[in-house]
Amino acid sequence: MDLAVVVIPAGMVPNVLRQCGDKGISNKNVVSGGFSETGKEGLEMISFRNKHVDGIEKQYADKWVQMRHWAELLREYGIRLPEQTVAESLNEAIAASEKIGFPVVMKLVSEKHSHKSEIGGVKVGLQNESDVKKAWNEITSSAKQHSTVQR
């Protein structure tokens, strides 16, 4: 199994994905900024990505490696990362946040939603239990609202 780890600006993603597909590399992890995370220019990149990247994924039947799986692998090799956990309930999210220590980041874990920041699935700078509750409710509501999104 081949695997490509790609860390590049958003505008370069389609070309690199095509190169990987042409070489038969269907497993990849793309770390990129420049979509909705970076303001007005990032929002303009969303339509670019939707037009170019999603089609390439389908063309090559690509498989995307979720970040949580990368974290496990990197830790096995002694690479330190911020602590993270998966919470399956609001109470678990609160307990995990208190254990990790504030501030925390909350991100939707879902294979149905590949672009989490676009649907409100990422919340940063959560300073206390109240912020965690609010973020949990917003993320779960947004995920339900966008649950009909298919890739």
pLDDT digits (tens, 9 = 90+) for 86-111: 899 999 999 999 999 999 999 888 76
Tell whether omega for the bond before 82 is within 30 degrees of 0, i.e. cis: no
Q: Residues 97, 136: contact at Cβ < 8 Å?
A: no
- pLDDT for res 80: 80
100 and 55 within one domain:
no
Report whether pLDDT(82) > 50. yes
CATH code at position 109: 3.30.1490.20
Q: Residues 112, 95: contact at Cβ < 8 Å?
A: no
Per the listing, tokens 């990849």 go with 28
Going by pLDDT thresholds of 50, 70 and 90, the confidence category of residue 133 is: very high
* Residue 76: Cβ-neighbour burial (10 angstroms; 0-12, 13-18, 19+): exposed
Q: Give pTM, 2 decimals.
A: 0.55
Per the listing, tokens 């409100």 go with 120
In a domain, 104, yes or no: yes
- pLDDT for res 105: 92
Residue numbers of the domain that contains 28: 1-65
CATH code at position 26: 3.40.50.720
92 and 29 within one domain:
no
In a domain, 71, yes or no: no
Higher pLDDT, residue 126 or 81: 126
Going by pLDDT thresholds of 50, 70 and 90, the confidence category of residue 150 is: very low
Which tens digits make up the pLDDT trace of 23-79?
A: 888 777 776 654 454 455 555 555 666 666 666 666 665 555 556 666 777 777 787
Going by pLDDT thresholds of 50, 70 and 90, the confidence category of residue 151 is: very low
In a domain, 76, yes or no: no
Per the listing, tokens 């220019």 go with 41
**Residue 124 DSSP SS3:** strand
Which segments of the chain are extended strands (E)? 3-7, 27-31, 63-64, 104-107, 122-126
Report whether pLDDT(136) > 90. yes
HSE-CB of 98 using CA atoms within 13 angstroms: 9
Token digits of residue 80: 């330190």
